[in-house]
């Protein structure tokens, strides 16, 4: 009987939990001299297993850039532009991912996996678009 109640309670708790599969990021420079760094964006992976975004959505920062990252259920719709690009092992394990993987194996990246980055604020949106397209991504203006 106790086992049945425990299983029922666990099921109720997990049923209300929303799995976060996007990462909301704000970044700003620690110096006013480099204001172009200020950005607000959210990225999500498509074609990946649940939890794969954990590798890149961590709160690490450098001395010159303050970066806050938070897992969210989904990205907001009020974007100023989006970049869609192929997701690779290199982009999955970017330098911001750090070494706090706690022994978890790196997720496998299927050939059709994508990373979609939605921008809400950018110091130089034109340069963000150039960077997207020059690295093989596809830029999309808001609809």
- What pLDDT does residue 119 have? 95
Confidence of residue 137 (pLDDT cuts 50, 70, 90): very high
Distance, in Å, from the CA atom of 90 to the CA atom of 85, rounded to the nearest integer, reads 12
Higher-scoring residue by pLDDT: 14, 60: 60
What is the mean predicted confidence (pLDDT) over 97-108? 53
- What pLDDT does residue 90 have? 74
What is the mean predicted confidence (pLDDT) over 63-90? 87
- What pLDDT does residue 104 have? 58
What is the mean predicted confidence (pLDDT) over 113-120? 93
- Structure tokens given for 131: 């960077």
Higher-scoring residue by pLDDT: 102, 35: 35
Please, are residues 125 and 81 in contact by the beta-carbon 8 Å criterion?
A: yes
């Amino acid at each position: 009987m106790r086992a049945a109640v425990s299983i029922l309670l666990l099921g109720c708790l997990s049923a209300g939990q929303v799995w976060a599969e996007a990462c909301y990021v704000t970044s700003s420079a620690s110096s006013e001299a480099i204001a172009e760094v200020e950005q607000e964006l959210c990225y999500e992976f498509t074609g990946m297993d649940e939890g794969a975004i954990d590798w890149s959505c961590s709160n690490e920062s450098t001395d010159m850039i303050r970066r806050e990252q938070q897992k969210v259920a989904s990205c907001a719709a009020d974007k100023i532009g989006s970049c869609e690009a192929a997701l690779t092992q290199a982009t999955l394990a970017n330098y911001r991912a750090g070494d706090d993987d706690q022994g978890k194996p790196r997720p496998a990246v299927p050939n059709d996996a994508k990373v979609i980055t939605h921008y809400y604020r950018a110091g130089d949106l034109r340069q963000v678009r150039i960077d997207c397209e020059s690295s093989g991504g596809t830029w999309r203006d808001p609809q």
